[in-house]
Chain A
Amino acid sequence: MMYLNNAATTYPKPQCVTDAHTAALSAPPAGQFRSSGQGRVKDVFTGCRENLGRLLGIGSPERIYFTSGATDSLNQLFHGMERKGKKILVTQTEHNSVLRPLYNGMAAGAEVEILSCDKYGQVSPEVFEERISPETGLLVLNHCSNVTGMIQDAARFGEIAEKHGILFMLDASQSAGCIPVDCDGWHVDALVFTGHKGLFGPQGTGGFFLRKGVGMRPYRYGGTGRDSSRLVYGDGDYEYETGTQNGHGIQALGAGVEYILDRGVERIAEAEKRLMGILYDGLSEIQGVTVYGEKGRNLGPVLSMNLKGLRPSELAYILQNGYETVVRAGFHCAPLIHQAMGTEEQGTVRVSISALTEEQEVLQFLEILREIAAAAEN
Chain B
Amino acid sequence: MNILEIIPSRERCAEAGWHAYDFILEHPMDDDFIKSMRPLGSFLYMQMLKKPFFKIESEHYLLKGIRGDEFFRMAVHGDYLDEIKHVENMILNG
Footprint of B on A, CB under 8 Å? 309, 311-314, 316-318, 321-323, 328-331, 333, 346-347, 371-372, 374-376, 378
Contact = CB atoms under 8 A, between A and B. Distances in A.
Contact of B16 (A321, A331, A375): A331
Contacts of A309: 44
Interface string B1-38: 00000000001011110000000000000000000000
B56 to A, nearest CB: 11
A133 B66 CA distance: 55
B60 interface: no
If over half of A's interface residues share one DSSP class (helix, strand or loop), that class is named, otherwise mixed; here it is helix
Given A314-B64, A375-B46, A376-B46, A322 B53 contact: yes
B16 A330 contact: yes
A313 B48 contact: no
Interface residues of B, number: 20
B53 A347 contact: no
A347 B16 contact: yes
Main secondary structure of the interface of B (DSSP, over half): loop
B2 to A, nearest CB: 21
Contacts of B46: 318, 372, 375-376, 378
12 contacts: A309-B44, A312-B14, A313-B14, A314-B64, A317-B73, A318-B46, A322-B53, A322-B66, A330-B13, A330-B15, A347-B16, A376-B46
Nearest to A371: B49
A346 B50 contact: no
B32 to A, nearest CB: 20
Contact of A313 (B11, B51, B53): B11
Interface string B48-87: 1111010100000010101001000101000000000000
